[in-house]
Chains A and B, each alone.
Chain A
Amino acid sequence: MRRYALKRLIGMLPLLLGITMISFAMMHLAPGEPAVTGQEFNPKVSSQDIERLRAYYGLDKPLYEQYWHWLKRLAVLDFGESFSNDHRPVLDKVMERLPVTLWINILAMILILSVAIPIGVVSAVKQDSWLDRILTVVVFIAFAIPSFWLGLLLMMSLGVNLHWLPISGIHDYSWQQMGFWQQQWDFLKHLILPVFVSAIGGLAGMSRFMRTGMLEVIRADYITTARAMGVPEHSIRYRLALKNAILPVVTLLGLSIPGLIGGSVIVEYLFSLPGMGRLFYEAILARDYTVVMGITVMGAVLTLIGNLIADLAYAWADPRIRHGQS
């Protein structure tokens, strides 16, 4: 297991390098010279900002030197300073916003797993029954629904009309006066809608995937053998088949991380949550390039880490991967 983990870690390095290269290329996307060209007359970007950008990226030097220079700073987690008036380091700004985003995404993943797996299994076991058909239609609709629209409707019904749930922010106005447990409950209440809205797309995709996986496993030879040997149907389904059908889900979960992180921009904008996605959105509106680039790189690295964890979990569960056929 340790050898496999080490191998995967080393395999990550070229990917990491590639991520930085793509990001670096993006900085130079703007027509002509790097990002600053054409900003001279942009009132949002002061001449000091342009100077700062020049200094940070070493724009007067040749490209390869700029890249190397930037890479060295990234290696020590120096993402430069924000262009906004506070001029704080990008890393600090992101770090104080990250917990909210992580909370929402982790809770969303837990929700996805705990709902999608049962739905998929039930659909597969009762294939072509009425229940399966209804679930399939619901899943299709959930997959096509724009998450921000669902969010709007829920805000309107549960928040504005019924006053059951708060519709924006992360704390109530009276947060300071609350006791510890009250605070936790308030925090959770603010997270219910965002988590549900973040999870809906992944939920649909995952249940579909689980259904297909389960159907495949049920038809496998070893299941037929088990059935022929008289293993009760119940244990065939929930002990033999389920275990193997769940495995690929782990990989899919890893693959769904970029979608969740990307989706946090919309969810946090919609519910006015102080997370990384909102920071990214604000940075784009303000043309705060260092923050935009910093978050883009960090988002990619987070994805990479998520994929690594998924791979390791898969290998831990499946010895064939760990000992590698290749």
Chain B
Amino acid sequence: MYGFGIIKSLLLALQHFFGTYWDDFRYGRKRYKTPEGIAHRSSKNARGIFTIQYPEEKLPTPEEFRYIPFLLYEEGPNGEKVDRCTSCGICAKVCPPQCIWIVRSTEPVTGKPIPAPKEFYIDVDICMNCGLCAEYCPFDAIKMDHDYEISVYDRANNMYDKEKLSKPVSYYASIRPTNFVSEEKARKEVEAARAAAKAAQSTPSS
């Protein structure tokens, strides 16, 4: 019958409309602004209102989520910051839009390079969050962050320097626990292998 299709579509819309209220009644207040409410709304059984009421509530960021890179430093026993970065320049070379600038440290007297960055800049306006720098860094020194609320009023604030980019390893462990554990394990293995090789090298000569 002509017109029946329209009625069916309208009934479906009506069903969605009542479904919204039905779900709200069924779950009550815990449907909004609670972690389980958000989890339910992004699950396969979600019905009714689907949206997340940002900024009152936020979707949890998955571990692999990536935004603007940051630099890792180890905290020494006396609170000093030891950069992991050796200013090898791989991140600056692999960066597709070329938003990373590094000034290598040099020995003031001899002029020889020291494996540490003197200056490190990322132009956040240009960064495209591709994550290639973090992927190819051989020292696990640059990683992608989870903090996505970085809007500013002035463009000049978007040239991040070393100070602003540096974050402790403990912060990294808190945002990416699984990655952190596996990477630390790999680092330990490499270090152990290197130590063993060194020991093997030094024994025959002595």
Do A and B make up one complex?
no
